[in-house]
Structure 1
């Protein structure tokens, strides 16, 4: 799997380009994610017809079921903020986004009778809207956290899509009531300088930066707040069928990579547990991978190396030894040898070139 330093440090956006896999899926998002951007910005006096980000996606939002590259959408949101110098736009687009644009997922959310059920449905079926993204809700006795993180390490910067997604989640949260917003707090994986602008003022809540994931936290009691449901039934059976179909149609290496990327710096990567996550025994998983010409170790190594390049790019203050530990290597030297085999250069040389 040796690559040049340029390909290793400037990888494209196919999710897991393992040697021998010729047609890896590009990570995508439903094109209806674009809905509301032009309308909101036009209402603020922007001439979107002359703006390059909108020209690039001029036809995409005409087809609600069309899927567009996730990297393209993320770049779009970054370009909008960079061109307008208005960091509030993604957040406000999300806050004013029509949930009906989410299709059946939006119908399920809108048919909910409480904030908690609406948020859980959004999280549970988010995979039908956007690929390769870890979005979860974690409720404790006193506080609940909603976290959102794109797993594809080739997509960076990726700050404004998080603001957009949090805007939608905040819209759902506030359907019950806006009381208690002063008890909400935000955490972002980007640095404050990368986010640009006064994010704390935009979201009107305390913010911290350089976290492992994007997250906002609020009192758990907010989940019990009642909301007025729409007059359409929630298409739960259809959504469950779509989730099952999506899992069956996804390449096994893609599904495994998503689990590995999600847990790489948080949990030990245990082959048995990862196999259970994708709905099979480890023996069956190994057999399927072998049929496709892969092994679990190959998938794990590829994910580790691409995540390493991501860490070099986004965490310049971490030492090589610290990054090796985050990736599951007990020895710094073992990581260095593995990275050199994969890329043809040392981790230090790769990081140096990226810094230059």
Structure 2
């Protein structure tokens, strides 16, 4: 049986190892993808450190990686829509019998030389878009896109705040500018992140520890406050701060994941102002990916600056460590099998 390399996480011990495993064979309705690029996400870090735990995984070990691009290497019985050699981006998850399974969490992902996918859980990658940029679209770009366009339903000229300008938040800044939000206010304690936000189109970048933050947001919004606030940090203090600067009928969209409780300090004020708190997870891949790939191909979006470095698959642990420690303040690191 032909073998391949894969970065496998043993869940009980939270141990990440590069292992030789059997190269998968596509079954009915499946395709085999030769992985060309795979993104390293903070969710991968949280799986390794134990903050996140797979809910639907069969067994105790999984190949990580939910941001994956590559080429079709083979097709299973009954597959007619894909042929070997086609460039593709894999969805970050699949829906099976009404349940959402996340790639690289609930089933094997793309930190490997090859990855399996349902024939319906991937989309074609235009030749003009490099594999590294294509790989990060699921999650790093499509998640904020879904949060902005669907959950948050941001309209042109609405004032919006983005808390946490990291791997997803920096893309939210770009996407908010694309949909016409104004002003776009980025909030992050890291000065490098604030500079990056301004470079990507934020109208104002503030330190979350700035005692004048509320006054500066009021000034930027003509005293109204923010129509929408997006928490990409998953930190209780961020959520409290965002609620304090929401406008009447403003909505707080929770994108960053945390197991900490959510508290509304002044429930009467919250209800009187008819504000909302909305949870968000992932995106509608069949809709979001073609939209984003079209905008990239058409020159409206460019994520080349988001690729902070590339490492071979064998150095997956180093990539995780660099992201966890924010070495070089990376947006996205790419693994190349």
Q: Give TM-score, length-normalised by structure 2.
A: 0.25
Q: Give TM-score, length-normalised by structure 1.
A: 0.24
Larger relative contact order (Cα-Cα within 8 Å, sequence gap ≥ 6): 1
Report which of the two has the higher share of helix: 1
Report which of the two has the higher share of strand: 2
